[in-house]
Chain A
Amino acid sequence: MRSDGAHRAHSLAIRVVLSTIFLSLVVVSITGSTLYSRLSTGIKQVNLDTAIIEARSTIFSAQYRLAIASGNPADSVRDIFSAVITSATTVGSNESGREVVILQVPGTAIGKSNYEISSNLVSNSSIPEYLRAKVRNSENLESSYVRIEYAGLNTVDGIAVGQRISIPNDGDYEMYVLFSLADQAATLALISNSLYLTGLALIILIGLIIWIVVRQVVKPVRDAVRISQQFTEGDFSQRMQVKSNDEIASLGNAFNAMAESLEKQIARLENLSRVQQRFVSDVSHELRTPLTTLRMASEVIHNARDGFDPVIARSSELLIGQIDRFERLLEDLLEISRFDAEVAVLEAVEFDICGSLERCIADLSLVAKETGIDINLNRPRDSVFINGDIRRVERVIRNLLSNAIDHAEGKPVEVRIMASADDVAIGVRDYGVGIEPRLLNRVFDRFWRADPSRARTRGGTGLGLSIALEDARLHNGELEAWGEPGKGAHFVLYLPRRAGDQLQSRLISLKG
């Protein structure tokens, strides 16, 4: 119970934390990716703008130099191109990776010379055909994202900006300036990593905060669960701690008020029942001394009855009989009060239960004979030793036997005993008046009679079966009854062979 309750309280906290983390994960990823996409778009745009501006100036300067040098021999064109390339590729640092590619527009060759050139072994295929087509058909700068390929080596993302230029007397060329985007990729990677880290830290932080908050809310609930469990176990002293002034505090106050009232009620009831039990016990004890005097006096009178008038002699017999009955009643009441006060003690010894059974049958055989009833015993040949309170066990047996004799109506009473390694069972079966099945659960009630008009032939106290049931239960055994009107009744006492062990089996079937 306890671990279960604690587990439920535990899982509430976990559930809240998990759903909070899930929700914040969603929010953080949405904001994070939006932020990232806006940043990267911005950075790319800036890079593109810069590239176009720089390319324009480079290409313009190349065109300008070519125009100045027109009419010069072919070598000077080459010189101009290499100068342009050198100045363009060394403007920034080397890593800024600026490259220049100059390609001849196909079908425009005028002379034999071909001035196609590229810096740092950038292969011509770095310029995709669609860009070349655009550049050829346009007077303006054209740009595109490309992959810059170094001959036989690596490739890198980049921007290519190109324009058509013409070399006087030597036809048209396309000049491209390529800008590496490696820096941009690194910047974007840095941004995205930072975003991931920040998001993760944020989620962990939110999780922790929620965990702490939930614990604060859940703790009083857990306390309430724990205290309720202690209540269930009979400890009414526990109270919830009330520190604040909120809803949790009013839960605590209400809980404590309930606990207070419960404790008072139970204490009151316990006290009442203790007073009552004490009273029954005291009355029984106080009655014993006068009863002793009464008994001795009646015995003295009874012993002298030979010289009495017959009426007085009979009266003395009745007196003795009633004193006996009174005494049995007193003993039974006292025994019941011990059970009620839970002070009945089991005095377990090792004894042969078959021997006890035979002794009890012998004790009652005189009464049985008077009413013409045979008691048949079916027992194993060997002794059956059990560990139990011999006084109580024999009392149960005697109660069952005299009950059977009272109701047997002249028919025989069958007594059976069965034993296994763990348990014994004693069945007492009569074939007399029987009991209505619906009344079976009442036969163990105190002072209960199946048929109030029926006389108690043996002057039983009406407490015998109640005491027998308590005796059986004190051994951790059971006493069960079966009956049908006209078919008789069957009472079976089940006992563990060691008093206090659990019953393993029902060796005698109750029915029939």
Chain B
Amino acid sequence: MTLVMVVDDDQDLAEMLGIVLTGAGIDVDLVSRGDEVLDVFRNNPPDLVLLDVMLPGLDGIEVCKLLRAESMVPIVMLSAKGDTHDVVRGLEAGADDYMVKPFRHPSELIARIRTRLRRTNTDISGLLTIADLVIDVVAHQVSRAGKQIALTRLEFDLLVALAREPGRVFSRDALLSEVWGYRHSTDTRLVNVHVQRLRAKVEHDPEHPEIVVTVRGVGYKAGGQ
């Protein structure tokens, strides 16, 4: 059974989230203080963390940084603030995705959680390559010249999505739906921030990317062809 840790100081919302997630067949671990997250996380590691930004004890952004420092677990931030500044801060702290309260549809929350939990399709066995990177889809590993590069699951999914169809130019909307599971959204900030994070990890020179290449006015494609 899948376990999701819900970190929110609003008891009613947390309980409601619990009801909705349990209804979708997901186990829920409720935490109400920021400074308790790490202990609970270590004792009972969840498959995903739903993390509110405003928390007593320790700020959600800080909690996110601490979690990211020791785990690649998918993190979805819950924010009452839709302002770019807060969203980008959350993403830069290591969150994979964020949802602004109130969610358009609770079913969308579930869909996003499922996308984040989904194992990358294993229908392609063997190895993918972009430029000098080797991606082992089954083993969930990326390496360059035999040296492993640590990526979060989301970054891995983003890279695989691009590598799987080397000639294709992906619009940001297409990436949002394939990698994040968004049905319709024009929030391209999410894509931009994660492409930058991915580039920082895999490119030789993130200022002149060769692996995730920008196609002006359209989106991104895999480089190295």
Contacts and interface: CB of A to CB of B under 8 A. Distances in A.
A295 B186 contact: no
Interface string B73-109: 0000000111110000000000000000111011100
B111 interface: no
A327 interface: yes
A296 B16 contact: yes
Contact of A292 (B82, B84, B103, B188): B103
A291 B102 contact: yes
Nearest to B105: A299
Contact of B101 (A292, A350, A351): A292
Tell me which of A295, A327, A338 has the highest count of chain B C-beta atoms within 10 A of its own C-beta.
Answer: A295
Contacts of A350: 216-217
Contacts, number: 59
Interface string A374-402: 00000000000100001100100000000
Interface stretch (A20-28, A250-258, A282-290, A480-488): A282-290
B179 to A, nearest CB: 19
B16 A289 contact: no
A299 B81 contact: no
B195 interface: no
Interface string B184-195: 001111000000
A296 B189 CA distance: 26
A297 B16 contact: yes
B106 A288 contact: no
A288 B186 contact: no
B187 to A, nearest CB: 8
A299 B16 CA distance: 11
A327 B20 CA distance: 20
A297 B216 CA distance: 43
A345 interface: yes
B19 A300 contact: yes
B193 to A, nearest CB: 12
Contacts of B12: 290, 293
Contacts of B189: 347
Most buried by B among A289, A292, A347, A352: A292
A349 interface: yes
Highest count of chain A CB atoms <10 Å: which of B13, B19, B84, B188? B13
Interface string A328-354: 000000100010000101010111100
B105 A289 contact: no
Nearest to A351: B217
Contacts of A391: 186-187
Given A295-B103, A390-B188, A300 B23 contact: yes
Interface in A447-506: none
Contacts of B36: none
A289 B17 contact: no
B10 interface: yes
B101 A291 contact: yes
A290 B20 CA distance: 15
A297 B84 CA distance: 28
B84 A385 contact: no
A289 to B, nearest CB: 5
B13 A289 contact: yes
Contacts of A290: 12-13
A393 B187 CA distance: 13
Contact of B20 (A296, A338, A343, A394): A296
A293 B186 contact: no
A249 B42 CA distance: 75
B16 A345 contact: no
A305 B188 CA distance: 36
A345 B87 CA distance: 13
Contacts of A349: 188
Nearest to B52: A289
A343 B84 CA distance: 11
A389 B118 CA distance: 32
Given A285-B80, A296-B17, A327 B102 contact: yes
Given A288-B101, A300-B23, A352 B106 contact: no
Contacts of B13: 289-290, 292-293
Contacts of B216: 350
**Interchain residue pairs A-B with the least CB separation, the first 8:** A292-B102, A292-B101, A288-B80, A288-B101, A291-B102, A350-B217, A296-B106, A293-B13
12 contacts: A288-B101, A291-B101, A292-B102, A292-B103, A293-B13, A296-B16, A299-B20, A299-B106, A300-B19, A338-B83, A347-B84, A390-B186
Given A289-B80, A295-B106, 8 more contacts: A288-B80, A293-B13, A295-B102, A296-B19, A334-B82, A338-B83, A345-B84, A350-B217
